[in-house]
Amino acid sequence: GGFDLWPRPAPFSCVFQTFSKRESDRLVQAGDRVCVEACAKESGMDSCFDVIIFAAPRQADELRAEVAQALDRLVDNGLFLCGAPRNAGGMRLEKTLSEAGLLDVQKDSRHHCRIAWGRKPDAAKTGRQEKARLESWKQLGRVAQNDSGYFSCPGLFGWDRVDQGSALLIESLPGGLSGTVGDFGCGYGFLSVQ
């Protein structure tokens, strides 16, 4: 919603990777379809998008998982374009798309950001190694138990451990807290449990 994509030939189907009510409302007012999951299944097809414009997340495992899921929704020879700030994962985009098996992967940089794009190969021409890699990438995005015993997934801050700031805060909290407590932006819930 923060990019001026208007005017454009047709409405977008917008899948929110992270939710913003203001952006959602702006897109709906422009005639776009906003949903939480990719809408391809409703058309009776597994993949139905000719172009996917993807806002790449910072965390590497989350990026791989979301790329693999997005490519399931892209038609053969469809264009996949993604972007991110250079200091928030943008430098790995070209390599990630190449590893995903996209063809003719290219990149460009401007304004401290990087974009990369490529075309999805025909399913019949996709190698076994690329298919296996994409299936393993999808698993990276699943909720699983982390080393601290909590259920979490890539994309949450400190998803695979107790971060130093939370550990320090726990040491500093007074004992005997009571009443109604709000833990906003609580990640996987470590502070709430403590």
Element spanning 132, H or E:
helix 128-140
Across 1-10, 33-42, 143-152, least confident range: 1-10
Q: Is the pLDDT of residue 70 over 50?
A: yes
For residue 95, is pLDDT > 90?
yes
Q: Check residue 93 and give its pLDDT.
A: 93
Beta-ladder partners of 110: 113
**pTM of the predicted protein model:** 0.74
pLDDT category at 16 given cuts 50, 70, 90 is low
For 49-63, write each residue's pLDDT tens digit: 888 888 888 889 999
- Indicate the residue type of 164: Q
In this prediction, residue 45 carries a pLDDT of: 45
pLDDT digits (tens, 9 = 90+) for 123-181: 777 778 888 898 999 988 888 888 888 888 887 888 888 888 888 888 888 888 788 87
Q: How many CA atoms lie within 13 A of 179 on its CB side?
A: 4
Residue 1 confidence (pLDDT): 45
Is 18's pLDDT higher than 70? Answer: no
Q: Which residues contact 35 (CB under 8 A, 6 or more apart)?
A: 13, 14, 15, 16
